C-alpha cells in the first residue's frame, strides 16, 4: 500500500473485519472514512460510517454492495435489468439451476474482488468443473450461477451526496478476454452515448437506490446487447484500472480530493457543474508472457497529452502472463480530442514502452546517424538496425523476437525456418533456437543460391545443429509438410514461421516488428527535430516494407517508403505487400476506411530496376556504392541486400529529380555478407558474384 508512505498516522488492521476497523476508528476518532478501487473494505466503511456518524454509506448498503447475492436480490426486487441468476449450495442445486438457465453461464463467488472466483461455462460439464473452483476460492458455502449475456462490457462511474446523484458517467471498457471478460482500460466519452446513454443512467440510478448507496462514489459494471442495458454489479467506491483518474480528467478536478472531501461531509456538488469535458483514456499495462523482468523502459518523449505512465514492477521482478488485476505491470493515462485519436495515440505510446524478459533477444532503440554522403543534394541519415546486439544484428533480429514470442504464446515446441545458407534470417533464427535449445529444422531452397558455395552465413548456420530438408523452388509446400511431419513424429509441435505449408497466414507476426519501428522513427524525428521525407530499404520478402507501410497507415503520415527489390519483380512484390497489409489489418481487426485501400497502390513504392541480375548478384555500381559508404561513413553494406538498396536509392533520387530532402536509409544488416565479398569490393573486381 504506497499510501502508507504518505500518511501522517498509520494503523495496521484487517480491512475485511468491520468490527476490528470500528474498534480502531473509535480510538482514532477520524472525520471521514473512504477507499478507492478496493472492494475488500466496503463492509468496514459502512460499519464505521454508521457507528461514528460519518458521511458515508450505511452498514446495510455496504453489505449489499460487497455481497453479490444480497446485491442480486436487491436489484431483482427493484426491477433493475440484470441477468437471470440462481443461488446454489450444492452440485445438485447447480444441476437444477442449469436446467432452468440458458448457456453460457457464469459461476460466480459472491465475496471476492475483481474476476477472481468467476468462471464462464459454455457446457454443463464446464459449469460443474468451475463450481468446484469457485467453491474452493470463496469463503461462503454458496455461490451464484447466472446467464452470461454475450454483449459489450462497459462501465458507469457516479457519486451520491445526501440522496442526490451528482453525476453518472458511462464509459467504454477495454476488456481482457480471460475466463470472464475483465476491465484493463476505460475511456470517455461513451461511444454509445446517443443511443444508450439515457438508458444506462436510468438503470444505474435504479441500482444505486436499490442498494441504498449514499454519500459515496459509485462504480458500476454493465453490459449492453441488442439495444438493452444490463447491470452486472455495482459498489460504493470509485473504480480501479484508471477510472478515478479518468473521472478527474473528464471533469477537470482532482477526483481523489473530491472523494476525501465527500467523506468529510463537504458539499461537492460544484465539482461536477462544469460544462467543458476532456476526452481521456486509461490502459492497464500487461504482459502476455511470464518470466523474470530484465528491462522495462519508457521510451516516450514527455508530452502534454500523456497524463501518466507508471510501473509497479521493476527488474529483476518476476512477472506473470495477465489473468487478473494482480498481474498488472503499470498504467497509462492519456487525454485528447476524440476517442479515435486517443486509441491511435495509445498504440503509439505503447510502442514506446519496452519490456524484455530473461532469454529474450534484446531490442534497444537503434540510432539514427547523419551520413557524409549527399545523394542528389539530399541530407542522408541511416537507421542502424545492423547494430541490434544478436548474431550481427539486422532487421531479422526483430523478426526472430516476434516469431519466438508468437511460438511461445501458441505453446509450440519446434521451429521450422525457410531459406538458403546465405540467408540472414536463417542465420539469426538458427542461432536463437540454439541459444534457447529449441529444435530447429530448415527447409533449404537450393535454387536461390548454390548450396555448395561457402559463406560466413552458411558456416554459422551449419554449426547450429539444425535438421535440413532440401527442395527445389517448386517443391517448397510438400517439403514443409514433410518437415512438419518429421517434427510431429518426435512429439514436437512445429511452428512454421511463414504460416501454412504454402507459406501463407503469418506475415502479420513479423510485420508487427516494423509497425513498431515506424513509431520508433517518429519518436526519433521529434527528438532530432526533423522529418524524413523518404525512407529507403532493401526489400526481398517484402515483410519489412509492409510493416513500415502498416505503421504509416496507422499513424496517418504522408511520406514515401521506397523498397528496392533484391529478388522479386515489381508486380509480384507489390502484390505481396498489398496481401500482407490486408492480412495485418484483418488479424488486428482494424476496419480501415475504403479510401485507404483505394489509394494503397499509389503508396506501394517497390522497384526492381536495380536487380543487377537477380538475388545474390551484384554489379560494379553496387560494389562502388559499398566502397564509398565504407570510406566516407565507416558503415558496412553488402552486395545482396543493403548495397543493392543503397545504389538503387541513389539512382531513384537522381531519376525522380528529388533534391534537398531528408532521406532515411534503413540499414537492415547483413555484416557476414560484407566480409564474403570484401575481395571483390575492394579489389575492384568487375565480374558478377553469385
Percent of the chain's residues with pLDDT above 70: 98
pLDDT at 115: 74
Which residue reads 499509389 in cell numbers? Answer: 602
Judged against a pLDDT cut of 50, whether residue 688 lies above it is answered with no
Give the pLDDT band of residue 37 (cuts 50, 70, 90): confident
2 to 137, 219, 264: CA distances (angstroms) = 27, 22, 22
Indicate yes or no: pTM above 0.95: no
pLDDT at 598: 84
pLDDT at 1: 65
Decide if 90 contacts 105 (C-beta within 8 A): no
How many Å apart are CA 379 and CA 530, to the nearest integer? 11
In a domain, 688, yes or no: no
In a domain, 502, yes or no: no
Average pLDDT on 469-475 reads: 91
Main-chain dihedrals φ then ψ at residue 528, nearest 5 degrees = -90, -5
Instruction: List, for residues 335-376, the tens digit of each pLDDT value.
Output: 999 999 999 999 999 999 999 999 999 999 999 999 999 999
How many Å apart are CA 401 and CA 344, to the nearest integer? 24
In three-state secondary structure terms, 38 is coil
Residues forming a β-bridge with 563 = 537, 606
> Are 661 and 547 members of one domain?
yes
Per residue in 133-143, is it b (16+ CB within 10 Å) or e — as a string? ebbeebebeeb
> Are 59 and 79 members of one domain?
no
In a domain, 689, yes or no: no
pLDDT at 504: 92
How many Å apart are CA 416 and CA 685, to the nearest integer? 38
Judged against a pLDDT cut of 70, whether residue 453 lies above it is answered with yes
In a domain, 547, yes or no: yes
Q: Looking at 467, 496, 525, which one is the last position of a domain? A: 496
> Are 447 and 479 members of one domain?
yes
Phi-psi region of 612 (alpha: psi -120 to 50; beta: other; left: phi over 0): left
Decide if 432 contacts 361 (C-beta within 8 A): yes
Residue 572, number of CB atoms within 10 A of its CB: 14
> Are 402 and 318 members of one domain?
no
- Strands, sheet with 118-121, edge to edge from the N-terminal-most edge strand: 85-88, 143-147, 105-108, 118-121
Q: Structurally, how many domains does the chain consist of?
A: 5
> Are 104 and 181 members of one domain?
yes
Query: Residues 6 or more apart from 268 whose CB is under 8 A from it?
Result: 159, 161, 166, 258, 261, 262
Q: How many CA atoms lie within 13 A of 28 on its CB side?
A: 17
Residue 567, number of CB atoms within 10 A of its CB: 21
> Are 424 and 513 members of one domain?
no
Judged against a pLDDT cut of 70, whether residue 531 lies above it is answered with yes
> Are 264 and 331 members of one domain?
no
Which secondary structure element, helix H or strand E, spans residue 425, and what is its range? Answer: helix 424-436
How many Å apart are CA 573 and CA 564, to the nearest integer? 10
Judged against a pLDDT cut of 50, whether residue 45 lies above it is answered with yes
533 to 118, 193, 552, 557, 559: CA distances (angstroms) = 52, 41, 12, 10, 5
Instruction: List, for residues 624-654, the tens digit of each pLDDT value.
Output: 999 999 999 999 999 999 999 999 999 999 9
Residue 84 maps to which CATH number? 3.30.470.20
Instruction: List, for residues 210-247, the tens digit of each pLDDT value.
Output: 999 999 999 999 999 999 999 999 999 999 889 999 99
> Are 14 and 102 members of one domain?
no
Average pLDDT on 183-188 reads: 96
Average pLDDT on 669-686 reads: 85
Judged against a pLDDT cut of 70, whether residue 685 lies above it is answered with no
Query: Which of the given ranges, 44-48, 417-421, 451-455, has the highest pLDDT on average?
Result: 44-48
What does the mean pLDDT of the chain come to?
A: 94
> Are 650 and 522 members of one domain?
yes
How many Å apart are CA 617 and CA 608, to the nearest integer? 13
pLDDT at 616: 84
In a domain, 501, yes or no: no
In a domain, 358, yes or no: no
In a domain, 382, yes or no: yes
> Are 334 and 468 members of one domain?
no
Q: Looking at 496, 530, 558, which one is the last position of a domain? A: 496
How many Å apart are CA 111 and CA 39, to the nearest integer? 9
Give the pLDDT band of residue 36 (cuts 50, 70, 90): confident
pLDDT at 686: 45
Residue 415 maps to which CATH number? 3.40.50.1100
Per residue in 447-476, is it b (16+ CB within 10 Å) or e — as a string? ebbeeeeebbbbebbeebebeebebeeebb
Lowest mean pLDDT among 178-182, 189-193, 302-306, 645-649: 178-182
Report the Cα–Cα distance between both ends of the chain, in Å, rounded. Answer: 65
Residue span of the structural domain in which 239 resides? 66-272
> Are 629 and 511 members of one domain?
yes
Q: Looking at 440, 469, 496, which one is the last position of a domain? A: 496
Instruction: List, for residues 73-125, the tens digit of each pLDDT value.
Output: 999 999 999 999 999 999 999 999 999 999 999 999 998 876 788 999 999 99
Concatenating the DSSP letter of every residue in 492-513 gives: --EEETTBSTTS-B-HHHHHHH
Residue 37 maps to which CATH number? 3.40.50.20
> Are 54 and 70 members of one domain?
no
Instruction: List, for residues 587-631, the tens digit of each pLDDT value.
Output: 988 777 788 888 888 899 999 999 998 888 999 999 999 999 999
359 to 311, 354, 390, 405, 677: CA distances (angstroms) = 21, 15, 12, 11, 33
Average pLDDT on 70-74 reads: 96
Decide if 425 contacts 417 (C-beta within 8 A): yes
How many Å apart are CA 426 and CA 418, to the nearest integer? 7
**628, 634, 640, 642 alpha-carbon torsion, rounded to 10°:** -90
In a domain, 38, yes or no: yes
Amino acid at each position: 500500500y504506497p499510501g502508507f508512505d504518505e500518511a501522517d498516522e498509520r494503523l495496521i488492521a484487517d480491512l475485511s473485519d468491520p468490527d476490528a476497523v470500528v474498534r480502531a476508528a473509535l480510538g482514532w476518532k477520524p472525520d471521514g472514512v473512504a477507499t478507492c478501487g478496493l472492494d475488500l473494505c466496503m463492509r468496514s466503511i459502512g460499519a464505521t460510517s454508521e457507528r461514528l456518524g460519518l458521511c458515508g454509506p450505511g452498514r446495510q448498503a455496504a453489505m449489499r454492495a460487497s455481497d453479490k447475492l444480497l446485491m442480486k436480490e436487491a436489484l431483482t426486487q427493484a426491477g433493475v435489468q440484470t441477468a437471470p441468476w440462481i443461488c446454489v449450495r450444492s452440485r445438485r442445486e447447480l444441476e437444477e439451476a442449469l436446467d432452468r438457465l440458458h448457456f453460457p453461464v457464469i459461476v460466480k463467488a459472491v465475496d471476492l474482488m475483481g474476476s477472481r472466483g468467476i468462471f464462464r461455462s459454455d457446457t454443463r460439464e464446464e459449469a460443474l468443473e468451475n463450481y468446484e473452483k469457485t467453491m474452493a476460492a470463496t469463503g461462503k458455502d454458496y455461490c451464484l450461477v447466472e446467464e452470461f449475456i454475450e454483449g459489450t462490457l462497459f462501465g458507469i462511474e457516479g457519486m451520491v451526496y445526501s440522496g442526490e446523484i451528482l453525476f453518472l458517467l458511462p464509459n467504454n471498457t477495454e476488456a481482457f478476454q480471460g475466463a470472464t471478460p475483465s476491465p484493463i482500460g476505460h475511456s470517455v466519452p461513451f461511444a454509445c452515448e446517443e443511443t444508450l446513454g439515457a438508458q444506462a443512467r436510468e438503470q444505474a440510478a435504479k441500482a444505486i437506490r436499490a442498494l441504498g448507496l449514499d454519500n459515496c462514489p459509485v462504480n458500476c459494471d454493465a453490459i449492453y446487447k441488442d439495444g438493452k442495458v444490463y447491470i452486472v454489479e455495482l459498489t460504493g467506491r470509485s473504480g480501479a484500472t484508471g477510472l478515478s483518474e479518468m473521472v478527474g480528467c473528464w471533469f477537470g478536478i482532482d477526483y481523489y480530493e473530491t472523494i476525501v472531501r465527500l467523506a468529510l461531509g463537504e458539499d461537492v456538488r460544484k465539482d461536477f457543474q462544469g460544462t467543458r469535458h476532456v476526452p481521456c483514456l486509461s490502459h492497464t499495462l500487461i504482459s502476455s508472457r511470464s518470466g523474470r523482468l530484465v528491462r522495462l523502459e519508457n521510451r516516450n518523449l514527455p508530452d502534454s497529452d500523456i497524463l501518466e505512465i507508471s510501473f509497479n514492477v521493476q527488474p529483476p521482478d518476476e512477472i506473470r502472463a495477465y489473468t487478473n488485476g494482480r498481474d498488472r505491470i503499470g498504467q497509462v493515462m492519456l487525454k485528447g480530442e476524440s476517442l479515435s485519436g486517443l486509441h491511435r495515440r495509445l498504440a503509439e505510446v505503447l510502442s514506446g514502452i519496452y519490456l524484455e524478459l530473461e532469454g529474450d533477444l534484446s531490442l534497444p532503440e537503434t540510432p539514427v546517424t547523419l551520413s557524409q554522403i549527399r545523394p542528389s543534394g539530399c541530407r542522408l541519415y541511416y537507421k542502424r538496425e545492423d547494430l541490434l546486439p544478436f548474431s550481427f544484428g539486422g532487421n531479422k533480429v526483430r523478426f526472430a523476437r516476434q516469431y519466438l514470442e508468437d511460438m511461445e504464446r501458441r505453446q509450440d515446441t519446434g521451429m521450422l525456418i525457410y531459406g538458403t545458407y546465405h540467408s540472414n534470417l536463417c542465420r539469426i533464427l538458427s542461432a536463437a533456437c540454439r541459444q534457447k535449445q529449441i529444435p530447429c529444422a530448415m527447409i533449404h531452397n537450393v535454387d536461390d543460391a548454390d548450396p555448395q558455395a561457402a559463406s560466413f552465413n552458411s558456416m554459422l548456420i551449419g554449426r547450429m545443429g539444425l535438421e535440413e530438408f532440401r527442395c527445389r523452388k517448386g517443391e517448397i509446400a510438400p517439403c514443409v509438410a514433410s518437415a512438419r511431419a518429421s517434427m510431429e513424429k518426435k512429439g514436437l509441435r512445429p511452428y512454421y514461421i511463414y504460416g501454412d505449408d504454402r507459406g501463407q497466414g503469418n506475415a502479420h507476426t513479423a510485420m508487427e516488428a516494423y509497425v513498431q519501428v515506424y513509431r520508433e522513427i517518429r519518436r526519433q524525428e521529434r527528438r532530432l527535430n526533423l522529418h524524413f521525407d523518404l525512407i529507403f530499404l532493401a526489400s526481398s520478402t517484402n515483410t519489412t516494407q509492409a510493416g513500415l507501410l502498416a505503421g504509416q497507415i496507422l499513424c496517418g503520415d504522408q511520406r514515401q517508403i521506397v523498397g528496392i527489390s533484391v529478388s522479386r519483380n515489381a508486380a509480384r512484390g507489390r502484390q505481396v505487400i498489398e496481401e500482407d497489409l490486408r492480412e495485418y489489418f484483418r488479424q488486428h481487426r482494424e476496419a480501415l476506411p475504403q479510401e485507404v485501400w483505394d489509394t494503397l497502390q499509389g503508396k506501394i513504392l517497390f522497384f526492381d530496376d536495380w536487380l543487377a541480375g537477380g538475388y545474390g548478384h551484384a554489379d560494379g555500381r553496387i560494389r562502388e556504392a559499398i566502397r564509398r559508404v565504407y570510406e566516407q561513413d565507416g558503415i558496412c553494406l553488402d552486395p545482396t541486400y543493403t548495397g543493392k538498396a543503397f545504389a538503387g536509392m541513389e539512382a531513384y533520387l537522381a531519376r525522380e529529380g528529388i533534391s534537398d530532402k531528408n532521406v532515411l536509409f534503413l540499414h537492415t544488416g547483413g555484416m557476414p555478407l560484407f566480409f564474403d565479398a570484401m575481395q571483390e569490393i575492394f579489389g575492384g573486381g568487375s565480374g558478377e558474384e553469385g
